[in-house]
Structure 1
Amino acid sequence: MLFSSPAFLFCFLPIFLVTYFLTKEKYRNALIFLFSIGFYFIDGGFFTSILLASVFINFWLAIGISRMHGLRKTLIVAFAVTLNLVPLFFYKYWMFFLQSFNDAASVIGADIHVVIPEIVLLSGVSFFTFHAISYIIDVSNEKVRPEPSCINFGMYMTNFPQLIAGPIVRYSEIASQVNNRLPNKRDIFLGIFIFIIGLSKKVIFADSAGNIADRIFDESSSSLSTAMAWVGAIAYSLQIYFDFSGYSDMAIGLGKIMGFNFPENFNQPYRSKSITEFWRRWHMTLSRWFRDYVYIPLGGNKNGQSRTLTNLLIVFFLCGLWHGASYTFIAWGFYHGLLLIIERILKANFNFSPSGALGQIITLILVIIGWVIFRATSLPLALHFIGVMFGMDSASNSLAPIINLFTFDVAVYFLAALAASLIPMELFEKFSYKNQHSEVIVKILIALPLFVFCLLLIADNGFNPFIYFRF
């Protein structure tokens, strides 16, 4: 169920919130668990049983691990991590693995062909798998105590705001809030405001930019011009940022209404002055997850430059693969890994780090090129698209096809999205309110028209799936 769908906005969410605030505090975790399972079942059907199995298995494994020591504990942790990866591998990567096997056999001339079954992607599997693995490892390392209540743990694992597409919330980040939260009126109001801002990012910015990106990326290669290629690449860059950050804001807002403080997931990544900074601002919960559970266990930066660079490449190969079972995602991961390696080498050997306006411009261009690889349906198409962007294989220099893409309202949304992604938010944070009452009035004056406008757009244009629902 999409957060931007009428069924969610006018049925599921109001029923949940009314029931939630009418329920005694000690029963609210059970209520969240119940509604979250229902939320998943509406679209997931049978797959809900896999999610529930993950909840119960990880609950008991963590309790068992907390009582073990030495080699036995290490083996059980390894078993638990492997067990969690099985659904992820099967539902997300098994078809790709078989296709890669067939491709490799074709390259070496072997007369082998494996039949590839059709496997439906298990919604949210990447996210709830990472939740479970982080919980198991943190319990093993005694960073958190195992949750004694299966209901509370189930609530953490299935919490519907962040179940399908994050942010990746570690149990340690909300452990103190599981049994001790009572949102006040200001938190509830702020949560509603953040939710509406996220909805606006999705419906106004992401969907309008996505419409342009889809039309250009679907354009025949023979009619693609350099200018059109750049507009398409920029449009997709805006789409994926506002789509995913919009979802994250909506999840964070819903969490705050319930009394949870979910971690921020984006911090204006397109203002970054280096690729290193970009990954400190983009999908921050994923970056920290790979840092803490992959990069550091591999040795991090403690075993010399060559090992550090190798670790970076491994992490970003996995990061690309996490996003999807495709050569383009792997190439995108390697692309960012290589850019980070270049920055590390420049810093270590020449004491040079990208900075200033030039650093921001170069970083933005590199990120946009990366999104072309991410968006393209194949590597040859990605390379052709990038070639057209830089003047190779361009069929036409006419601006007419681009002008036809932009109605007045779409052009306004597009320019507003550009401004919102690049103008420093610190400028707005300097604005001070005389008192809390003034803050509430200002935010109502912002949120209410935005919400009404979003509803009008949804009624007129429908609603599109979130991009990260596919990951």
Structure 2
Amino acid sequence: MLFNSFQFILLFLPITLFIFHTTARINQRVAFILLTLASLLFYSFDNAYYAALLALSIAVNFILGEAIRSRKDDAKTIHNILFIVALLMNLLLLGYFKYTNFFTYNINELLKTHISTSKIDLPPGISFYTFVQIAYIVDAYKGKIKNGSFAGYSLFVSFFPHLIAGPIIHINDMMPQFYNYKISSKTQTYIAAGISIFTIGLAKKVLVADLLAEKANQAYALIGAGHTLSTLDAWIGSLSYTLQIYYDFSGYSDMAIGLAYMFGIKFPINFNSPYKATSIIDFWRRWHITLSQFLRDYIYIPLGGNKAGATGRYRNLMLTMLLGGLWHGAGWNFVLWGGIHGSLLVCAHMFRAHTNSHQLRLPRWTPLITLPLTFFCVHMAWIPFRAEDLYTSYSMATSLFTNHGDTAEFTYVTLRTVLMVLLATVLLPNTQQLFPSDINSDHKDYPIKSALLTWSSSKPHAFAFGLLLTACLFSLTSPSTFIYFRF
């Protein structure tokens, strides 16, 4: 079931909200169980097999996690074996569904073998709920999980706002909020704020990302079919995807946070204006923040982090980004994308180390250069990320700088639209900046102080968001999936 569908917005969400808040007044444990069942229903909407697989994964991980957590120091060997078994189980499950055909194809190409392959459908969100459970297993191994119940753990993993595409959260961050849940005067405010944040995310997806997707898909389809794009076509098509993925994932992140608010839960900010970044290091502190933290904590640091000297640090950075690229998709184009970002991060850290060692102070106007330069690098890296294969990536990249034709498939009106969206992306406040600190703990003050731009549960704002939600609903002719759903 998609967040941007009539079934979800008009049926599933209001019914689930009503049942949860009504039941929570009477019996909190029953409310948890009903919300878990609703989340499994949400996940099984297209295929009940996926929900059965998720339920099995939850049960096995909880049993192993409890076994790991309960072991004492005198059973260290068993403790370590259980930990390794739990990690391998999760990685093998993810590897089977996501990488079997990729590795089989490459083995056949490399060794000239003829190992047969069959189509393996990737369960939605398996990468995310696997990472969430790996984090739980590691926390249990380190003794960070003090107590738990199967009902609580099941809700933690399956809670539908984060199930499909994050954010990647820890059980100690989410479950205490559920356990401390109480109906209060703030409940209505949180529900209203949640609906507003959800509406902003829905508008980003439906009114911006899906519009840009038409142009991006057209451009990449033409190249995939062997056509050569003009320079204007290439820039419009590639920029359309760069902005499409921004608003697609930013919209999903807002919708997930808004949905969680409706149930009294605060998710961590997962998206913080990454196209305002002034370095590639800054970009990865803003784009898919919880994934960046996961890669840092569970890959980069275990590899040695920055403790192995400069050379070891750069090697670990590159390996982490290559694995991060492969996590996004089983294809060499994703590995290339990860390699590009790994190389950019290495260069950025080398430059930072050089300036620090020589105590160099950069001029105040440096962001005027570094911001567009960072955006250009990120934009170029999105090309292999979007392309179906390496040849399409090469063709699109070369078309940007080689004028192959005089006639553009796209109009200058389309170019103006793309540039206006880009300008708005850089200049306007992001969603969390619109909400006061008592609603959003990650609120950052924005230079523009305006009651009009600061959300409140007032009638004028309710009317404005009602109009925006109505416009989104009228645009839901054929709901499209979110880009990160396929990862």
Seen in structure 2, the aligned counterparts of structure 1 residues 240 and 131 have a Cα distance that, compared at 3 Å, is same
Is 1:158 matched with 2:158? Answer: yes
1:395-450 residue CA offsets vs partner (Å, 9 max, x unmatched): 20334x221883xxx965x455323321152886443549x996523432431111
Letter in 1 for 2:472: C
The alpha carbon displacement at 1:90 in A equals 0.5
Q: Is the aligned partner of 1:81 residue 2:87?
A: yes
Residue type of the partner of 1:368?
H
Picking from 376, 396, 400, the partner of 1:389 is: 400
Matches within 5 A, 1:288-437: 288-351=293-356, 355-391=366-402, 394-399=403-408, 401-403=409-411, 406=414, 412=417, 414-425=418-429, 429=446, 430-433=448-451
1:215 and 2:218 equivalent?
yes
Aligned to 1:72: 78
Residue by residue over 1:165-211, the C-alpha shift from the partner in whole angstroms, topping out at 9 and shown as x without a partner, is 11112212213213112361111111110000010010011000111
Gaps of 5+ in 1: none
**Structure 1 position 448 matched with structure 2 position 466:** yes
Is 1:224 aligned to 2:224, yes or no?
Answer: no
**What aligned pairs does 1:3-22 form with structure 2 within 5 A after superposition?**
3-22=3-22
* Structure 2 equivalent of residue 121 of structure 1: 122
Q: How many residues are treated as equivalent by the alignment?
A: 455
Contact 2:152 2:175 in 1 (8 A): no
Give the TM-score taking structure 2 as reference length: 0.89
SS at match of 1:431: coil
8 Å contact 1:47–1:122 — kept in the other structure? yes
Match of 1:2 in 2: 2
Change (3 A) 1:188 1:438: closer
Aligned to 1:275, which of 249, 272, 280? Answer: 280
The answer (yes or no) to whether the contact 1:187–1:256 under 8 Å persists in 2 is yes
Aligned to 2:438: none
Answer 1 or 2: which has greater helix percent: 1
Deviation at 1:388, TM superposition (A): 1.0
Q: In the alignment, which residue of structure 1 is the partner of 2:137?
A: 136
Partner secondary structure for residue 385 of structure 1: helix
Q: SS of the residue aligned with 1:43?
A: coil
Residue 238 of structure 1 is matched in structure 2 by 243
| 1:253 CA drift (Å) | 0.6
Q: Work out which of the residue numbers 257, 268, 271 in structure 2 matches 1:266.
A: 271
Return the offset for 1:61: 1.2
**Which of 449, 463, 470 is the aligned partner of 2:479?**
463
Percent identity between the aligned chains? 36
Which amino acid is the alignment partner of residue 51 of structure 2?
Answer: T
Distance 1:437 1:192, change over 3 A: closer
Corresponding letter in the other structure for 2:387: A
Q: Which residue of 1 aligns with 2:442?
A: none
Cα RMSD of the aligned pairs, angstroms, is 2.1
Separation of aligned partners in 2, 1:402 and 1:353: 44
Distance 2:474 2:49 in 1: 34
| Aligned-partner Cα distance in 2 for 1:273–1:442 | 36
2:233 touches 2:410 (CA, 8 Å); kept in 1? yes
> CA 1:35/1:416 → structure 2, altered by over 3 Å: closer, same or farther?
farther
Distance of aligned partners of 1:448 and 1:141 in 2 relative to their CA distance in 1, 3 Å threshold: same
Q: Does the CA contact (< 8 Å) of 1:343 and 1:353 recur in 2?
A: no
Retained in 2: the 8 A contact 1:433–1:439?
no
AA aligned to 1:87 is L
Task: Give the Cα separation in 2 of the matches to 1:374 and 1:58.
Answer: 32
Q: Deviations over 1:252-285 (max 9, x none)?
A: 1110110111111100000111111000000001
